[in-house]
Chain A
């Protein structure tokens, strides 16, 4: 990999939630123009736009990135990156590689408009495309039911309890209270999670992250670009970016209690950053279901395999603890507009490093990590950002 250094120089994000009044391209262009303004550079310096979205082709316009760039008056290459519901991080990873390959300044946009799907069956079918469509989805499985099996497998192998699982969304809702763009800014009690009806046992009604509307964008640039443009005030270095995949169907995997793609992608990202999991202070991980965060904090190496549930209920992942996980509220409290989520995770780390996170600010951050998952782990992206002045 080339030695060119990559920086996030600006971000823009919209309020996540149900925005029936907003046209899909409105929120996308809002996030994009905010990101360009935040970078303080002239928009004409942006050489390319990568955008990630899972369903933007299902509500008519397949090329939302194109609409947003028209509204921002840009005549640059626009490319949609598809990594299912991890398309945001997928677009970011491709933009990172493009800077490494010689480009100097790129905008990355993640956007989704899910409140148009008032019939939840339509969205379930779209999500069926992120698992094995023919041999899982058409056989009757859904994303939720497959996560239920993964939860069962972890509970059986490591004695993970329902209380430990519920402590994941309890913590994330607590963090989400202080995130102005989060869909749900209120706490939910452990009891409420435990007492909720089981939709796909052991997954309860309040466990899944909600599918909502939202857009997030960042502008990234090379070190040379940053040095030659003094108008850029703030920059956060991207020291690692990696993607890995695994068998799409759970029936083809050896075990269901870990995500191999997370393990491989994080190993690659740590190697690129020349750090270990111990160096990470904050992490934004894919908690679309409670087990998702437990698998993540184990497979990323923050805790021993099997200790994720215990660590969470003991508060080891809460704000300003050993490692602060999902300070934004995670997918659970922030809401999950698929393509926007991967970028929103990166923005949370950038905000934390720029000390703009107000009540949810974590002290003394060295490295921050994001993990974005496609389907049940068929593809995983890991990005590492650094706050260190002088990096290795």
Chain B
């Protein structure tokens, strides 16, 4: 990942932010300039719910070089308690121990490493509660 991109995305990735539309009152993720539901520009930032449950999960063993550091890992579709769905890794647990509906909590972790000298990409993953 390129430094300008990491810098630009630091808040939404590190803080896990979405938006709340002040017109239609709907929440959405990620941050956009316009509400994807009603196209209003009258939006405010929203901190995503920190807990949720697993809807789908599976193993990833082959991906881009910078993401291979933790492979094989578990990737999951998580429905947060505020109703927003996000894609994220499940960590600190074995695949065999997981099941659909498992409650999880958001954690701040390393997502990617660009070799020995490149920048480290951080973001959120999930751990079972």
Contact = CB atoms under 8 A, between A and B. Distances in A.
Contact of A128 (B56, B64, B75, B123): B64
A256 B67 CA distance: 25
Interface string B54-76: 00101111111101100001010
Interface stretch (A72-80, A132-140, A223-231, A289-297): A132-140
A159 interface: no
A148 interface: yes
Nearest to A151: B58
Contact of B75 (A119, A139, A198, A252): A139
Contact of A145 (B58, B64, B88): B58
Given A134-B30, A251-B86, A124 B64 contact: yes
Contact of B62 (A120, A134, A137): A120
B49 interface: no
B87 interface: yes
A126 B48 CA distance: 29
A199 to B, nearest CB: 6
Interface string A220-256: 0000000000000000000000000000011110001
Given A134-B30, A140-B111, A200-B58, A251 B73 contact: no
Interface of A: 119-122, 124-125, 128, 132, 134-142, 144-145, 148-149, 152-153, 198-201, 203, 249-252, 256
A139 B89 contact: yes
Interface in B20-58: 29-30, 56, 58
B82 interface: no
Interface in B59-107: 59-65, 67-68, 73, 75, 77, 85-89, 95
A149 B56 contact: yes
A136 B29 CA distance: 12
A121 B75 contact: no
Given A121-B62, A136-B87, A139-B89, A256 B75 contact: no
A320 to B, nearest CB: 36
A201 B58 contact: yes
30 contacts: A119-B65, A121-B65, A122-B65, A124-B63, A128-B63, A132-B87, A135-B29, A135-B86, A138-B1, A138-B112, A139-B75, A139-B86, A139-B111, A140-B67, A140-B73, A140-B111, A141-B87, A142-B60, A142-B62, A142-B75, A144-B60, A144-B62, A149-B56, A153-B56, A198-B59, A200-B58, A201-B59, A201-B95, A203-B58, A250-B77
A119 B62 CA distance: 10
Given A149-B56, A251-B87, 15 more contacts: A120-B62, A121-B64, A122-B64, A122-B65, A124-B63, A135-B87, A138-B1, A139-B75, A139-B86, A141-B87, A142-B60, A149-B58, A199-B62, A249-B87, A250-B87
